[in-house]
A and B are shown apart, each in its own frame.
Chain A
């Protein structure tokens, strides 16, 4: 367990540093960006991008919250977080099989479901805590540029973002429980995510993209409501619970 905790900490730390490195310059750039935002909305080449940039101005704070939500969640967490979900999840079981340690991992007198749950939980935490912690620094960074951001609203946004990323991570863990090649699993998940993002940017297909569930509009709503919008959160909960249940079923039948 100590081994797993250490892995969780180090992986999470790397993700946190990456997210923070993307967040700090983005927040500090806001005053300059605010000046050009109306022009950007005007010249945006497609309706999807117009909607995306227009969405930044949804609050009555001149767009600061929308801008920060877009930078932290839609841009940083949706790219780096998805990569982390694929990379952390791919080796959960398939990695053990590939390095030849699956047999000793399973040979201990500990129920397989417990082993998998522990591993899943550590991976989920290593994705979630960097999202929460880096988001918690937004109000502090906001003070540097004279903007106020609600800590509790950001907590809700972080929880929603974590739900999305952990759902994707759970799907990767399921694939890792079923198959033996971690790199192929990661490539599959990453390419699937890129495809989904590409769909998001196509005007007529944007509604069919998974990223519709975690775009600026959704985070704006969660920020305003300080609660989940369940019609959008529920599919993520179903994906998470379904993938985890599938992985727990598959691990029982897994041959070392």
Chain B
């Protein structure tokens, strides 16, 4: 039975793709939309761009199925690309073309209104449509791709690094437009290395690593979990102290305790840290923490926990 998606949905089952010996995607399952912005996160080489290319039919699947906005991915993916827009992460444009002509070129195969809409967006972003693309800065080229991706009236948009290289004001304008579009019911799959923007606009975060989904987290659930987290930073921890931190009384409402170096993150069952803090104060065998935080978790911290490296 082939996989089916409703309007505005992106579904994938057991999607795999390898390039030679490298497994770029491995058994990926997706159920996205309809509506909202989903952030796709992960370090370079984690498979984000390959996943986006696979969903739009630009890279063939080795195995698995994809259905997007009610259309099953087949052949060279033209049927799926008619149902969505895609903006690639790598900027490769024809420098000799004028920006307006290039927009029309990018939107070949789309209705005339899409071209007019894209030109309006480009004008609002103050792009000089009569100038040749070779005179554009990196950020301006990115905006041109953004205008092309936002021009057509579709229910799914797949955007790879769409705000990369933009100055803060243009980044704001781009994100604002994306949020408004998602509010109208469009599903946007956004790949980004900019955790701040993902945190501010996305309703769901998907973390990729080694071609697999490492974590798929709802933004509301993420915020709810953040309210139940206690972060402790110690100057140093010996073996006895580590053991003591890992063995909390269940009555204190501790769900999970994670120790990384001198940092300890404790997830509580309820958003009330007082019993834990009282017990911590009573354990004089533990060194005094250098920092205690409660009710906070940034996407950057989650990224660090998942990948073991600091993110921007």
Q: Do B59 and A255 touch (CB < 8 A)?
A: yes
Q: Do A110 and B108 touch (CB < 8 A)?
A: yes
CB within 8 Å for A109 and B58 given contacts A100-B90, A103-B88, A103-B90: no
When chains A and B are docked, how far (Å) is the Cα of A104 from the Cα of B107? 10
* Residues 79-100 (chain B) with a chain A CB within 8 angstroms: 81-82, 86, 88, 90-94, 97
When chains A and B are docked, how far (Å) is the Cα of A102 from the Cα of B53? 13
Q: Do B58 and A256 touch (CB < 8 A)?
A: yes
Residue of A nearest to B89 (CB): A103
Write the residues of chain A forming the contact surface with B, with a CB cutoff of 8 angstroms. 1, 3, 99-104, 106-113, 252-253, 255-256
Main secondary structure of the interface of B (DSSP, over half): loop
15 contacts between A and B (CB under 8 A): A3-B94, A3-B105, A99-B92, A100-B92, A101-B92, A103-B88, A104-B93, A106-B58, A107-B56, A108-B109, A110-B108, A111-B76, A112-B76, A255-B59, A256-B88
When chains A and B are docked, how far (Å) is the Cα of A24 from the Cα of B75? 51
| Count of interface residues, chain B, beta-carbon cutoff 8 Å | 27
Q: Do B60 and A253 touch (CB < 8 A)?
A: yes
Pick from A101, A102, A108: contact of B93, CB under 8 Å: A101
Residue of B nearest to A113 (CB): B76
Shortest Cβ distance from residue B140 to the other chain A in the assembled complex, whole angstroms:
16
When chains A and B are docked, how far (Å) is the Cα of A109 from the Cα of B106? 10
Beyond A1-B108, A104-B145, 12 extra complex contacts between A and B, CB < 8 Å: A100-B91, A101-B93, A102-B92, A103-B88, A103-B90, A107-B88, A108-B109, A109-B82, A111-B78, A252-B76, A253-B60, A256-B59
Shortest Cβ distance from residue B82 to the other chain A in the assembled complex, whole angstroms:
4
Residue B110 lies at the interface, judged by CB distance under 8 Å to chain A: yes
- Interfacial chain B residues near A109, Cβ < 8 Å: 78, 81-82, 109-110
Q: Do A3 and B97 touch (CB < 8 A)?
A: yes
When chains A and B are docked, how far (Å) is the Cα of A101 from the Cα of B78? 18
When chains A and B are docked, how far (Å) is the Cα of A213 from the Cα of B305? 69
- Interfacial chain B residues near A253, Cβ < 8 Å: 60
When chains A and B are docked, how far (Å) is the Cα of A109 from the Cα of B105? 12
- Interfacial chain A residues near B94, Cβ < 8 Å: 3, 101
Q: Do A256 and B78 touch (CB < 8 A)?
A: no
When chains A and B are docked, how far (Å) is the Cα of A256 from the Cα of B58? 7
When chains A and B are docked, how far (Å) is the Cα of A233 from the Cα of B210? 53
Residue of A nearest to B154 (CB): A109
Q: Do A107 and B81 touch (CB < 8 A)?
A: yes
Scoring B53, B60, B86, B92 by chain A CB atoms within 10 A of each residue's CB, the highest score goes to B92
Contact with A along B217-234 (1 / 0, CB 8 A): 000000000000000000
When chains A and B are docked, how far (Å) is the Cα of A131 from the Cα of B217? 64
When chains A and B are docked, how far (Å) is the Cα of A253 from the Cα of B76? 8
CB within 8 Å for A104 and B88 given contacts A109-B78, A252-B75, A253-B60: yes
When chains A and B are docked, how far (Å) is the Cα of A253 from the Cα of B138? 30
Contact with A along B65-80 (1 / 0, CB 8 A): 0000000000110100
Q: Do B78 and A110 touch (CB < 8 A)?
A: yes
Residue of B nearest to A101 (CB): B92
When chains A and B are docked, how far (Å) is the Cα of A252 from the Cα of B59? 10
Scoring B59, B76, B86, B88 by chain A CB atoms within 10 A of each residue's CB, the highest score goes to B76
Top 10 A-B residue pairs of the complex, sorted by shortest distance between their CB atoms: A100-B92, A109-B81, A109-B82, A109-B109, A101-B92, A112-B76, A110-B109, A103-B88, A111-B78, A108-B109
Residue of B nearest to A114 (CB): B78
Shortest Cβ distance from residue A193 to the other chain B in the assembled complex, whole angstroms:
29
